[in-house]
Amino acid sequence: MRILAFGPNGSGKGTQGTIIRDRYGLDHIESGEIFRHHIKAGTELGMKAKTYIDAGNLVPDELTIPMVAEALAKSNERGWILDGFPRSKAQAEALQETLREMKIDVDYIFEIELDREEAKKRIMGRRICSINNNHPNHIAFETIHPVEKDGELVCRVCGGSLSMREDDQDQDAINQRHDIYYDEDKGTMAAVIYYRENCDARNIRVDGDRGISDIAENILSEIEEGEAIKLRLKFG
Ligand code: AP5
């Protein structure tokens, strides 16, 4: 199963991607996370990418596209969720070309719709667990609020220490990330439109202004329905 995840920065793509990954045993390929790994490791790619990420800009295609193509080539046979790529029409076209060469298709595209002010609030209040960065923690939402231990906020799931992403506290950089997302000519919405018009994958559009489990239930039930249709077409 191959899935593309879309949604404005902070809308919950990563959160939902993790739930879907665990349900189907897929790889969760997150372009932003691969960059952060390179930055932490001090690689040349990481050093080049950091300047763009700090300013909220896209890392140039000549660095990003080969990096994602490599991750796809290494992914497991069950399939993947690609989160954070493509982020422009040019990346969407490059991805289609890569998938054509690999002789694989995208099965599902999910798109989380969320107002940008709400998405900004989610970015700024996000806290990252040092033990597992997929543990949801947010200082503004009661259901996923970190817990207090020895006078400090720690991960509500495992008690790990929490940190903030550098690019999450700069409002100008966040606005720039959202300007790129909502740009229907060249930005990420252009990639979304490209996929709506050029791909046979089932398109799942969900209202992101709900709780995490409601959204997950919505996406998972659409995938189940899609899988049932595929089985009926295969076996009659
Ligand atoms: P990236 O790491 O992809 O960051 P982002 O797109 O800005 O946003 P996220 O993916 O972190 O947000 P999300 O939608 O996953 O939300 P989350 O689930 O964490 O990219 C970083 C940078 O790398 C980019 O700016 C760019 O520079 C570069 N880059 C990456 N890909 C690139 C590409 N293809 N080309 C060029 N450059 C690229 O949720 C957010 C918070 O809300 C969390 O705290 C979560 O717990 C909480 N939350 C989630 N869902 C809910 C809910 N329903 N209700 C309440 N809280 C919720």
Q: What is the pTM assigned to this prediction?
A: 0.94
Pocket of ligand 1 (CB under 6 A): 7, 9-15, 31-32, 35, 52-53, 56-59, 64, 84-85, 87, 91, 122, 126, 136, 138, 141, 144, 177, 211-212, 215
Q: What is the pLDDT of residues 2-33, one digit of tens each?
A: 999 999 999 999 999 999 999 999 999 999 99
Pocket test for ligand 1, best of 13, 21, 134 (most atoms within 8 A of CB): 13
Q: What is the pLDDT of residues 73-128, one digit of tens each?
A: 999 889 999 999 999 999 999 999 999 999 999 999 999 999 999 999 999 999 99
Host H or E run for residue 163: strand 162-163
Distance, CA of 81 to CA of 72 (rounded, Å): 10
Give me the sheet containing 202-207, strands edge to edge.
Answer: 27-30, 80-83, 2-6, 108-113, 202-207
